[in-house]
Amino acid sequence: MVESTPPSAIFPDRLRTAREYRGLTQGELAKRAELQPSAISHFETGARKPSFDNLRLLADTLDVTTDYLLGRVDEFKNIAGADKLHRDYGALIGDDRKFADDLITLLASKAAGKGPDKR
């Protein structure tokens, strides 16, 4: 049986990593998430654990998934945005879905420098 690190041990490092990647100080993250700066400090040192509501606030503010913060997935870059897009995409039907597919393909090509509008 393989031992795994509990989420409570992973969370402080993941929170700090995501915060630093987004270029935020603890105070800036606290302000954006509408939490106390001391709460962010306690979460990052492992002195306190966030409530479910605060976990979600932090994930939304940092644009990462709660799965990343809890150590269930290793990669966080662009994951949360993709999850949001996927949820909305699932509600589309017929021509709307085809339009969304075409638009995403066009935007991806543009971002890769292959599109007709290479600014």
Which H/E stretch holds residue 50?
none
Q: What is the DSSP code string of 53-92? A: HHHHHHHHHHT--HHHHTTS-S--TTHHHHHHHHHHHTT-
pLDDT score of 22 more than 70: yes
CB neighbourhood size of 30 (10 A)? 21
> Mean pLDDT throughout 107-118?
70
Output the pTM of the full model. Answer: 0.64
CATH number of the domain located at residue range(s) 7-69 in this protein: 1.10.260.40
| Rounded CA separation 119/114 (Å) | 11
Distances (CA, A) of 114 to 55, 78, 100, 104, 109: 39, 21, 19, 13, 5
In this prediction, residue 74 has a pLDDT band, given cuts at 50, 70 and 90, of confident
Query: Model confidence at 80, in pLDDT bands (50, 70, 90)?
Result: low
Task: Tell me the per-residue pLDDT of 23-67, one tens digit each, with 9 for 90 and over.
Answer: 999 999 999 999 999 999 999 999 999 999 999 999 999 988 888
Q: What is the arithmetic mean of pLDDT over 70-84?
A: 67
Secondary structure (3-state) at 112: coil
